[in-house]
Amino acid sequence: MSHPDRPDRIAVVTGAGSGIGRALTRALAQGGAHVAASDIDLADLAETRALCPDGGVTTYRLDVADRDAVLAHAEDVRRDLGPASMLFNNAGVDLFASVADMSWADFDWLTGINIGGVVNGTKAFLPQLIETGTARRPARLVNLSSAFGLIAVPYQGAYSTAKFAVRGFTEALRQEMIIERRPVTVHCVHPGVVRTNFGTNMRTADTEDPDQAAKLFARAALTSPEKAARVILRGAEKNRARILIGPDGRAAAALPRLLGVGYATLLAHAARVTNPRSGR
């Protein structure tokens, strides 16, 4: 049910202060949706809002790992704007560390955001999506996994743990919505490396050089956030269960199909060529 004097299309985007989240917010607002944009950094959010059409974005400070805060956020969005018809669980962080060297605190920090944030957002907003969706115009629920939710790579063990979990959670939810004939389409997004500040903001183990890790990320970034946002929105509109972004995203999907579990050995041998720790 729409609210008088409120837009019919309410899109919720987490991690909207930068990167893919910012690009999604801009594209959705330019397309006529009103965006409830959240981030833990209010300064970044203000920059995002300034780039969008006047009146097209309402901003909220949000820590997606805080379940109570996310549940309250869903009620705030309903009160301020009306029930959501689109949800993009985009917020995420990275940790460059071996399994042996990563700290428990860093692992819990990453999984709290990358898994917990997706589950919290989904559970908080799913009732609104079911309410607003119709057979002719279903609501959209989009969860950001990663290319590393399709394949695991060295020194991204915590990140892959989270992104594999997002994939399983999202694919199960999509099946449930189909079984129960709910008017909600569910999509799992697998970007390769996108040109964002992700690399400069990632945490590293004490044994790693953060500047070197950031440089590796920058060299691998093949896709712009704007291109990623366009692919996501087009994939959701076409009701694609799995949305692959970039040549590296597509390669990550192909490797396990071609090589099975043998892909991991291939990647490990390739990584030994450039990894300074390989001689230890």
Tokens matching residue 91: 């917020």
pLDDT for residue 26: 98
pTM above 0.85, yes or no: yes
Tokens matching residue 275: 């990894």
Query: Residues 60, 155, 159, 263: which is the catalytic one?
Result: 159
pLDDT for residue 203: 84
pLDDT for residue 1: 33
60: annotated active-site residue: no
Residue 184 pairs with which residues in a beta bridge? 139
Over its length of 280 residues, how does the chain's per-residue pLDDT go in tens digits? Answer: 334 344 569 999 999 999 999 999 999 999 999 999 999 999 999 999 999 999 999 999 999 999 999 999 999 999 999 999 999 999 999 999 999 999 999 999 999 999 999 999 999 999 999 999 999 999 999 999 999 999 999 999 999 999 999 999 999 999 999 999 999 999 999 999 887 766 567 788 766 666 665 556 556 557 899 999 999 999 999 999 999 999 999 999 999 999 999 999 999 988 887 665 655 4
Residue 121's CB: how many other CB atoms inside 10 A?
27
End-to-end CA distance of the chain: 62
DSSP of 164-187: HHHHHHHHHHHHHHHHTT-SEEEE
Which among 97, 113, 197 has a CA at the least distance from the CA of 155? 97
